[in-house]
Structure 1
Amino acid sequence: MKTTPTPTVAVPSPRPAEPHARTCQIAVVGTGGIATVHAGDIDRLGDRARIVAAVDTDPDRLTEFCARWSIPRQYTKLEAMLDAERPDLVDLATPPGLHTAQAIACLARDLTVWCEKPPVLSLAELDQIAAAEAGSGGSFATVFQHRFGSGAQRLRALVAAADPRLGAPMTAVCHTLWYRPDEYFHVPWRGSFEVEGGGPTMGHGIHQIDLVLSILGDWREVVAVADRRARPTRTEDVSAALVTLDSGAVVTVLNSLLSPRETSYLRFDFAHATVELEHLYGYRDEDWRVTPAPGHADPVTEAWADGPTGQPSGHHAQLSVVVSALAAGQPPPVTLPDTRVTMELVAAIYASAFTGAPVRRGQIDETSSFYYRMDGNGAPWEA
């Protein structure tokens, strides 16, 4: 019989839950840099949501975080929080290597989880979470906030409707060209497949990869390369891939931590228009540019004028939708099946890069070493 752990930090008794439809009660696990971003965006939701508890193994950082965001209860162990609280949402803002066990623990309590990227270290771990979700009253969602800006919503709707004003998708570009100095990898959990899950393909470019797939649809095959060229890391610091989608469109994907002029650049070429997005860590409507093909200016301009405007991408945009879904009794986006499409492509990029062979969707299963680790049996440079 499992014993009930006690908090290692003295905390007051939980308050009675407020009406769910009025205020979404959130517990934040991890109080580092990304948790601070989440807390700020939760605060912007006003009385729609509030943080009622926080968890961190570092008592000093935890106390500082709770004081900054007026969080009433704090715990240094996740199990202690789970024993004492019944939040509407558990926000996992911890290092990637902790996500799977923490998510399963929350789902075992019928709690809903919103998890930072990368949500897991492997497809095997993602399937473990899916099995836990299947037996839970809660659900699991991944932080992929770039899906929720109005520009992406607008383009996604046009593609989903096969709008003839844009025409069929032909090709796309997905570049995450960032810069991280050697000092970036001094953080203990960075720079290894065992703890971080991968390099820029997994931890950085995954945002742009997910956004492209959410707009253009499922992928079919990938051919890729990856290398460790400069950084003191066991993972790659650059990768490139050629991805064929189910539609037949071809996407070039480049992920780098070696690019002094940082940019996140997406380009979608349709039969009648090019749609471009350039930003760094979040975009606004004005970061999108549409170029009609000759003779198509009026219908393309009309098509792009349809749909939502004014919503920047970011955690606040996704959180707003998450809170609305919970209030309606619905699983919040991005669901596990949505996440798996992206994670499977990331795994396939590593598999293709490390084996030198094309990889088709569905090929990485329990018989493949890349199902259990993104580096399979090990990166080539580790040999």
Structure 2
Amino acid sequence: MSGGRRIRVAIAGAGGIARICHMPALRAERARAEVVAAMDVDAARAAAFCAEHDVPAAYTDLDRMLEDARPDLVHICTPPFAHAAQTVACLRAGAWVLCEKPPCLSLAEYDEITAAEGPDGPYAAIVYQHRFGSGARRLAALADAGALGRPLVAQCVTAWYRDHDYYGVPWRGRWDTEGGGPTLGHGVHQMDLMLAVLGDWTEIRAMAGRLDRRVETEDVSTALVRFASGAMATVLNSVLSPREESYLRFDFTDATVELRHLYGYGDGDWTYTPAPHVPAETAAAWTAPGDEVPSSHLAQLSALLDCYERGERPPTSGPGGRQALEFVTGLYKSAFTARPVTRAELTPDDPFYHRLHGDVSGWAPSAAEAVP
């Protein structure tokens, strides 16, 4: 699709995530992609970023960058409240998008993004890098083939720690700028991977609390989930946990599969435990050595560039990118209404479709009313 030339890439947002995660991935893919421009509303930060990473053009205006640089692909690395409008602007300019999570602040905004895509592209993919490690791909392939039996039970834990100073950044911990708390901004990685393995959910029963951090949003949430397959899961999202861990467990009829890591995994972080009736040679085949790809922005970027070159929709765009946000919406609605929620009810007539807190009293306080 790129006609033999390198794919022209631009960066929107020159903060930490662009420096720490996106630029190293792009440097590793420099044979296929070249960064031609970067923008940030802070002119000094944009200039410093471009000088540090040898990017030829710095901008403070996205539309101007799109017009001048004409990128094929834009990495959106700005705060969440800017994602929807910037992604739509890039798509309308003909550029593909790789947008940091969370994709936007509501299902309504997400559907505006997909409406701006073309039938054959450009497409907007969301950064859910845990799907793209070789460990996750192996498990998804085994599960899809039925090699592990039926899925029965799962656990999905994001037990992280973010102190009070973390929320000193003005846009964090607010519904109108960050969109949600750890359910949306932190646990979404593990929940997306859980959904990629187990598929569609049908019912969710949840609770959320604002226990310690001085925020408008929740700082912890829990949920019980039923999937279309009949499988059931428990979910925990926390930024209050001094011993940090990301944990996923899937119990199938023939095996338990576990993943323990923190912010990224390799093949060695996965454990397969066969059921007593499974022959040893069958279990050995599940973990036969292969080419290891750690979960990372590079793993996802490489897959995205493959899709771009073939003109194919990336896995975390369209319905694939909506899946985790829809789950988060259902979790919030159940937590804030104190009742079970089904996927079918998350329609444009629902207030939670438009705002993740659904304008429920007590979950959109002013900063002064947040936890002291």
TM-score after normalising by structure 1:
0.92
Q: Identity over aligned residues, as a percent? A: 50
SS at match of 1:46: coil
- Which residue of structure 2 aligns with residue 206 of structure 1? 188
- Which residue of structure 2 aligns with residue 81 of structure 1? 65
SS at match of 2:142: helix
Among 145, 159, 170, which residue is 1:177 paired with? 159
Matched, 1:335 2:317: yes
1:290 positional shift: 1.0
- Which residue of structure 1 aligns with residue 12 of structure 2? 29
Mark the runs of 5 or more structure 2 residues left unpaired by the alignment: 366-372
Partner letter of residue 129 of structure 2? Answer: Q
Matched, 1:261 2:239: no
Among 247, 256, 280, which residue is 1:274 paired with? 256
Select between 220-229 and 59-68 the one with higher mean Cα deviation: 59-68
1:99 positional shift: 0.6
Matched, 1:90 2:69: no
- Which residue of structure 2 aligns with residue 311 of structure 1? 293
Q: 1:178 to 1:96 in 2, by over 3 A?
A: same
Residues 5-16 of structure 1 aligned to structure 2 (within 5 Å): none
- Which residue of structure 2 aligns with residue 223 of structure 1? 205
Q: Supply the distance in 2 between the matched residues of 1:307 and 1:348 (Cα, whole angstroms).
A: 38
Residues 1-383 of structure 1 aligned to structure 2 (within 5 Å): 20-36=3-19, 37-134=21-118, 137-163=121-147, 166-305=148-287, 308-378=290-360, 380-382=362-364
SS at match of 2:295: coil
Q: 1:169 to 1:379 in 2, by over 3 A?
A: farther
1:50 positional shift: 1.8
SS at match of 1:65: helix
1:196 positional shift: 0.4
**Which digits, 9 at most, give the CA deviation of each residue in 1:282-322, with x for residues without a partner?**
00000001111213251542341358531000100000011
* RMSD of aligned Cα (Å): 1.7
Mark the runs of 5 or more structure 1 residues left unpaired by the alignment: 1-17
Partner letter of residue 97 of structure 1? Answer: F
TM-score after normalising by structure 2:
0.94
Partner letter of residue 152 of structure 1? Answer: A
Q: Supply the distance in 1 between the matched residues of 2:52 and 2:153 (Cα, whole angstroms).
A: 46
Q: Supply the distance in 1 between the matched residues of 2:5 and 2:289 (Cα, whole angstroms).
A: 28
1:329 positional shift: 2.1
Q: Supply the distance in 1 between the matched residues of 2:282 and 2:192 (Cα, whole angstroms).
A: 25
Select between 253-262 and 127-136 the one with higher mean Cα deviation: 127-136
- Which residue of structure 1 aligns with residue 369 of structure 2? none
Partner letter of residue 139 of structure 1? Answer: Y
- Which residue of structure 2 aligns with residue 5 of structure 1? none
- Which residue of structure 2 aligns with residue 8 of structure 1? none
